[in-house]
Amino acid sequence: MNLAELTQRYDDQLRTGDFADIDASANGLQVGPDDPESVTVERVAFAVDAAEQTIEEAVEWGADALVVHHGLSWGGIERVTGRDYRRIAPLIENDVALYVSHLPLDSHPELGNAAGIADLLGLESREPFGRMGPEHIGQQGHGEFTREELGELLADELDTGGQGVRGFDFGPDEIEHVAIVTGSGADWLDEAVDVGADALVTGEGKQKVYHEAREAELNVFLAGHYATETFGVRSLESLAEDWGMVTTFIDAPTGL
């Protein structure tokens, strides 16, 4: 498959264009050759973050393309110097294209990060959660857990890099309704309360989330930004395999 077609397939699946006005990330092909139609893609690497570490591994593995959740361009690259040079240069020098999907991948009801957590928890009656402009970037659904069970399930199944899952146990012991925004989802705490959720599952916290959860009597689970956001790129990896690509997932946990 050529790079233009790969890009087009992902953009179609993820509705990349619908997120142009609400995502600072330049989603889609972010670093790539002059003429994507002339570049054949056989080997595709996947990672959560585009960083020196993951880019180097992609290069060593011989990737034609690297697909990530967190890319390099957030509102435009002012200068290709320092950090940006360090990351862009090896991509260019080794002919590795970079494809990025940030909020479109958070949002997707089957392929997305929140969908991955929902699958892991076996949630039913799933609906979109986490309003961001006209879109949603998370998921909500129903199950039956004690608070301890939910925490342990996350801790067991997610690779938190040894940091574990932190829980603010301010809500009910029995959890039926779970709201999920992966990564940095503390700002959707109020929406979780509004929809009647018993627990909010997210990645990293913010100072304010402690008291807000305490006062709203909501259980909050902080399972790690990295740990909650490997699902989406792994889904994209499966798609690539279906399309006949040779793939690899580059695991570079941040512990955050």
Q: Are 252 and 49 in contact (CB under 8 A)?
A: yes
Q: Does 64 bind its own copies (CB under 8 A)?
A: no
- On whether 136 is known to bind a ligand per the annotation, the reply is no
What is the β-pairing status of strands 135-146 and 124-132?
antiparallel
Residue 115 is inside which H or E element, if any?
helix 113-121
Provide, rounded to whole angstroms, the least separation between the CB of residue 61 and its own copies.
Answer: 18
Q: Does 29 bind its own copies (CB under 8 A)?
A: yes
Q: What is the DSSP string of 140-166?
A: EEEEEEEHHHHHHHHHHHS--TT---E
Nearer to its own copies, 138 or 143 (CB): 138
Q: Does 75 bind its own copies (CB under 8 A)?
A: yes
Alpha helices (runs of H) in 15-73, residue ranges in sequence order: 52-61
Q: Does 245 bind its own copies (CB under 8 A)?
A: no
Q: Which two tokens mark 229?
A: 């956001």
Q: Which two tokens mark 32?
A: 């790539």
Q: In terms of C-beta density within 10 A (0-12 exposed, 13-18 middle, 19 or more buried), how is residue 59 classed?
A: middle
Q: Does 59 bind its own copies (CB under 8 A)?
A: no
User: Which residues are 97's β-sheet partners?
Assistant: 65
Provide, rounded to whole angstroms, the least separation between the CB of residue 91 and its own copies.
Answer: 8
How big is the chain by its Cα radius of gyration, in Å?
A: 19
Nearer to its own copies, 128 or 164 (CB): 164
Q: Does 244 bind its own copies (CB under 8 A)?
A: no
Provide, rounded to whole angstroms, the least separation between the CB of residue 124 and its own copies.
Answer: 27
Residues 100-129 touching its own copies, rule: CB under 8 A, are: none
Given 120, 132, 155, 256, the residue binding its own copies (CB under 8 A) = 256
- On whether 177 is known to bind a ligand per the annotation, the reply is no
- On whether 106 is known to bind a ligand per the annotation, the reply is yes
Footprint of its own copies (CB under 8 A): 26, 28-34, 36, 49, 51-53, 70, 73, 75-83, 85-89, 92-93, 166, 183-184, 190, 203-212, 214-216, 225-226, 252, 254-256
